[in-house]
Structure 1
């Protein structure tokens, strides 16, 4: 698998590290606290056959601009950063796809700047704080694997060797798979990313007050909400809630998936996405 091309994008809000791959219409992928590199991202790879994907390191991730004030790590400020990157790249509009907290960021993007987005794909996410309201969530204290997950997250915030970090990340990911024993099969390939600790710490506070459910009606972008039936991070009820409140939306639930349907049911996920984009093309031709 070829590595992603690295470009540094100067904007009036700072310089951002961007990785690009694929051909076609421009599509943005990001995540609130992942730190990407030239090896790319499993979720972003799902779109490189049909789009030119721009995988963006946000503030405090990789070689992107630092946060000079804490509020610059917020979702709203992050959307403004993405808008600055889009504008500098010369695209009047682009597509956006986000997984997990990347999907939460996508919701805020759609609420604030739907006119900049051709489509939204929100995968394994939620429109509001999920941990305290659902015991089915692994971040809820009543979940049987809560302590295990918290321990792994705290370890990832510390200084670790590359091998130690990979081992802990592997165990963390296995907690969110329907079939943990297939982890190495799902995450095969030379993709290595890390966590931007400062962004993770800010998110852990911002999520406590996060609730955009009453604003989802403002999303005018055509949207696909995808989720696994057995998701322990963002249980399926949150995806169903989004599908009820976003005006132009489709819901795709994957019966044999947990938090990573694009890996656990890769072919089915790709088929749903291809159909979603094909329907868009048919709609434009009419």
Structure 2
């Protein structure tokens, strides 16, 4: 079931809500520059096992509205707060991938884990996002040749080989975003840091990270594991930046066990 939730005047976010009567709720926050559809291989399996799975397209991405502003971690975390309040969610497991992981971290600290029982960080862009050099390259392409930028993202995303049709599908997810929101998040990933947020996380936290990640190095997952109390780190040895697809069976089973 898909619908829109208004998070502020003239800004509506698209929500995919599967198995609303499920006993346990998992709220997925996608990565840049994709959409909730990146979690297709979780949505294929987990709702049928009794979980309520909710995917949200952040502002500027997927099927959500695309305002010109609001692309900082505070505003994006506030959007998640509205979703949780409007849907009256409680005891949620919050799953954030890459930039979605950074948003999830800021949500936990800014909103005191309101409605959230557990946290899953998947190749999270924390405590840092892009280096200045990487950001400059992405920003140049985003503003001048976004298809080329999306191809670079796709080429570095996975450790395992992907088919041409899968690559085309993945590229399409990125092209659903607006150019301005794509660029704005690059700046956010360059300029915002989460070092001070990590020690404030007070919910059980599962850190999942591909050992071969070329986007966010595995060493950053180790940093998070040391900084977040009551956290556990599970390396994915056959994954790059997308363990939810590259080792999806292992990922899904691990998520079920943790939830």
- TM-score category of the 2 structures, normalised to the smaller one: 0.7 to 0.9
TM-score by length of 2: 0.80
Aligned-partner SS, 2:207 = strand
- Determine which of 48, 73, 76 is the counterpart of 1:75: 73
1:17 maps to what in 2?
A: 14
Matched, 1:139 2:137: no
- Determine which of 225, 246, 250 is the counterpart of 1:268: 250
Aligned pairs for 1:99-118 (under 5 A) are 99-113=97-111, 114-118=113-117
Q: How many residues align?
A: 250
Q: Distance between the aligned counterparts of 2:219 and 2:27, measured in 1?
A: 26
Aligned pairs for 1:87-236 (under 5 A) are 87-113=85-111, 114-132=113-131, 139=134, 157=146, 169=150, 172-179=153-160, 182-184=161-163, 187=166, 193-194=173-174, 195-236=177-218
Larger gyration radius, structure 1 or structure 2: 1
List runs of 5+ in structure 2 lacking aligned partners.
none
Q: Distance between the aligned counterparts of 2:247 and 2:27, measured in 1?
A: 22
Distance verdict in 2 for CA 1:214–1:11, change over 3 Å: closer
Aligned-partner SS, 1:91 = coil
Aligned-partner SS, 2:6 = strand
Q: Does the CA-based 8 Å contact 1:252-1:272 persist in structure 2?
A: no
Q: Does the CA-based 8 Å contact 1:36-1:57 persist in structure 2?
A: yes
Question: What CA deviation, in whole Å up to 9, does each residue of 1:9-50 have, x standing for no partner?
Answer: 23555432212224522222223644547x663365364445
Between 97-106 and 260-269, report the one with greater CA deviation.
260-269
TM-score by length of 1: 0.73
Q: Distance between the aligned counterparts of 2:4 and 2:100, measured in 1?
A: 21
Q: Distance between the aligned counterparts of 2:220 and 2:38, measured in 1?
A: 28
Q: Distance between the aligned counterparts of 2:168 and 2:65, measured in 1?
A: 29
C-alpha displacement at 1:156, in angstroms? 6.0
Q: Distance between the aligned counterparts of 2:3 and 2:125, measured in 1?
A: 31
C-alpha displacement at 1:202, in angstroms? 1.3
